[in-house]
Amino acid sequence: MKNRNYIIVIVVCLVLAGLIFYATRSNNVGGIESLESGKLIWVKCSNPDCGATYQMDEKDYFLQIHEQTRAHPMALQTPALVCKKCGKESVYKAFKCEKCGTIFFSGAVPNDFADRCPVCGYSKTEAIREARKASPGDS
């Protein structure tokens, strides 16, 4: 009988540990809470009948990505967000080209900077790197 009580105590401890682990894990939104809101990013709907582009808070974006990742844990790609216009899960992160104003999906040009404009070829990441290269020792 004593042995059995022992086992029950151990099982209860394990369950508690599991619950605590799960609770702390689900509260921690991967550091998203530490992100400051107020930074707007562009998103674009990949539904050809919709094609909506709009801005959203970067923090909201990551929170929704987190929710979608939890809803589809087996998905290998970045999950799509629900479009606020057509209601389908077809919205992805996008960039707005500073040069020509085109709004395009992140990584529109394969094997290149994610923010490379497919229309005029401008990339802000590249421009920043070039500017850094141009002024060495300026740190």
Closer Cβ to Zn ion, 105 or 122, answer by number: 122
Determine which residue in the list 47, 53, 68, 106 makes contact with Zn ion, applying CB under 5 A. Answer: 47
103 near Zn ion (CB under 5 A): no
Q: How many Cβ atoms sit within 10 Å of the Cβ of residue 85?
A: 15
DSSP 136: T
117 near Zn ion (CB under 5 A): yes
70 near Zn ion (CB under 5 A): no
Closest CA to 62 of 79, 77, 87: 79
The stretch near Zn ion (CB under 5 A) out of 45-53, 54-62, 69-77, 106-114 is: 45-53
Q: How many Cβ atoms sit within 10 Å of the Cβ of residue 27?
A: 8
Query: What span, in angstroms and rounded, lies between the C-alpha atoms of 128 and 95?
Result: 15
Closer Cβ to Zn ion, 35 or 67, answer by number: 67
95 forms beta bridges with: 104
Residues that bind Zn ion (CB under 5 A): 45, 47, 50, 52, 83, 85-86, 97, 99-100, 102, 117, 119-120, 122
